[in-house]
Each structure stands twice: as structure tokens, then as C-alpha cells.
Amino acid sequence: MGLSDEQAAKVVAMAMELARQGATAEVLELVEHGLPVDTRDGEGNTMLMLAAYHGKVDTVRALVERGADVDLRNARDQSPVAGALFKGEEEVVAVLRDAGADLDSGTPSARATAEMFGRSHLLG
């Protein structure tokens, strides 16, 4: 039996909040029970984007290990690595960079964001 649209929306909202909070075990449980790792909210954010933006390195690492697309941009054309750079989340930037994040995609790109905020040293 599948979920109604309303139920599915509630699951997505819950997953996004868990990612934002860095509740890694709960996020992974949802993924293991069938929630696509690259599920998006109404603003195009993925769990990876929200975890990255909020500096939840363990959640970021776990999502990357489960195949999350490190380059999926939200509706505002922002990438997870650019969001992490904007917030100064050094460990998250390193995880995403090591996972092959495209430093030139999005608006502004991670490179442009790093330059704007004097964090180019985080790009390796």
C-alpha cells in the first residue's frame, strides 16, 4: 500500500528536518526503508543540501556513502558545497570536495563563494 500525496509530503518534510538537525541514524533509516537518497523538498533542496548547509558532517558523509548526488542544486541554483562554504563548514566542504563535488557549478559557484568569503583555502 502506497502513501497518499499528503503522507508522502509529511515524510519528505520530516526527512528534511532530520537532515537539518543532523539526525543521521533517523535519516538513514528512512533511506533504508525506501526514501530516495536524493529526494527534494518544495524548494529543490535534498537532505544532503540541508545537512551540508547546517554543518552536519556525519549526516553528509553517510548520505554521500549511500550515493547522494553531491552536485544536485536547489531551485535557487545553489550546490551543497557552495552552501557549506557560505556557512564556513570546513569539514563538510572537505567531505564534499573529496566526494568529487563540482566546484564550478551553481550560482554562485563554490569557487566564487569561497573567493567572496575569503575561504579559497578550503578548496584544496
pLDDT of residue 3: 81
Place 124 in a pLDDT band, splitting at 50, 70 and 90: confident
DSSP code for 44? S
Domain count, the chain: 1
**Residue 56 maps to which CATH number?**
1.25.40.20
| Residue 25: partners with Cβ closer than 8 Å, 6 or more residues away | none
DSSP 3-state of 96: helix
C-alpha atoms less than 13 angstroms from C-alpha of 39 in its C-beta half-sphere: 21
Residue 34 is given by DSSP the state: T
Residue ranges making up the domain that contains 86: 5-123
Share of the chain above pLDDT 70, in %: 99
Could you give the CA distance from residue 79 to residue 112 in angstroms, rounded to a whole number? 12
Q: For the whole prediction, is pTM greater than 0.85?
A: yes
Mean pLDDT of the chain: 95
Residue 91 clears pLDDT 80, i.e. is over it: yes
Q: What is the full DSSP assignment across 55-74?
A: T-HHHHHHHHHTT--TT---
Q: Is the pLDDT of residue 36 over 90?
A: yes
